[in-house]
Amino acid sequence: MTACASMKRADLRLLVCPKCRSGLEFRGELLFDELATGTLRCEKSAHEWPFDDELAKLMEDEAIHGLEGFMRCLYDTFAVLHDQLTRVVVPLMQFETESATRDAYMRRIDLTNIATRRRRGPLRVLEIGVGTGANLPLIERDLPRGLDVEIWGLDFSRGMLEQCRRRPPLASGRRVRLLLADAHALPFPDSTFDRVFHVGGIASFRDPRLALAEMARVARPETPIVVVDERLDPERRHCLYHRLMFRALTFYDPAPASPRPFLPKDAQNVIDEQASRFFYCLTFSVPR
């Protein structure tokens, strides 16, 4: 048993075609009301999205090219080593612990106050670029007990999602719903999630402006949207070692920076800060 359980028929109510945002219908094999193998068919265009090995693929491979394609290849190849490298190598590079960096951005996601504006139905959290699921224990840690909360995660790397699916169950018993999807075309209706966040990949996105617009679109108004990625802290002094290590970490980007200039025009409550020596944390929300 794992935290990342199979998707149920009822979960389809939250999915839309990433091309036209119409509803989807499952056609295939069920296993005790869980979707096993088949296709998700768009009700409007009749386009079919594959659903294999209990995982929906709501993206087109042709859209992933250039730097994104290279990064996906790396993630697929080294997924099994990703967590070990993150836990050991990155702290040695920046002389700061992994947990301190994660705690810094989890404070901005502010899950402890997710029920401030309670609404009917479950609350929902979305991690874009869920990877191996390293943030899932932190989500579980920070969510108030007893709340009805759905956790959704998507990634464009099947290799990373396979590692995520091997994670042990969350202590609360909450299911984590996983999708193979593109951050530039999120397969969800508008204003669906009470928290939306992404860690560690937007620097390689082909269109950060579009990805940020998609995050804003699926987030409920006035709720935190958090984006984290590499940037050398501009307010601190760095020795040659730190500069060389940062250059090695960000070999794919000659000038890593916060995507603040690409935020939607109506973005509000913008906070652009450092989570650690090597990582920024950009927080914003959208108005009602």
- Residue 217 above 60 pLDDT? yes
Range list of H helices, 45-203: 66-94, 98-109, 136-142, 158-165
Nearest CA-CA partner of 260 in 174, 202, 184, 193: 202
Residues 6+ positions from 26 with CB-CB distance below 8 Å = 9, 12, 35, 38, 39, 40, 41, 51
Return the H-helix or E-strand segment holding 154: strand 149-155
Q: Which CATH superfamily is domain 62-285 in?
A: Vaccinia Virus protein VP39 (3.40.50.150)
- Residue 4 above 80 pLDDT? no
Tokens 């702290």 correspond to: 91
Residues 6+ positions from 192 with CB-CB distance below 8 Å = 14, 124, 126, 218, 219, 220
Q: What's the mean per-residue pLDDT of the chain? A: 93
Mean pLDDT on 16-31: 93
Domain positions in the chain are: 9-59, 62-285
Mean pLDDT comparison of 1-5, 98-102, 250-254, 283-287, highest-scoring range: 283-287
| CA dist., res. 260 & res. 178, Å (int) | 28
Backbone CA torsion sign across 14, 15, 21, 22: negative
| CA dist., res. 97 & res. 88, Å (int) | 9
- Residue 1 above 70 pLDDT? no
Contacts of 37-43 with C-beta under 8 Å, sequence gap 24+, read: 40/12, 40/15, 42/17, 43/17
pLDDT (0 to 100) of residue 139: 97
- Residue 86 above 60 pLDDT? yes
Residues 6+ positions from 140 with CB-CB distance below 8 Å = 170, 171, 172, 174
Beta strands in 186-256 (DSSP E): 195-199, 225-230
Confidence band (pLDDT; 50, 70, 90) for 59? very high
Mean pLDDT on 144-173: 93
- Residue 220 above 80 pLDDT? yes
- Residue 286 above 70 pLDDT? yes
| CA dist., res. 174 & res. 172, Å (int) | 5
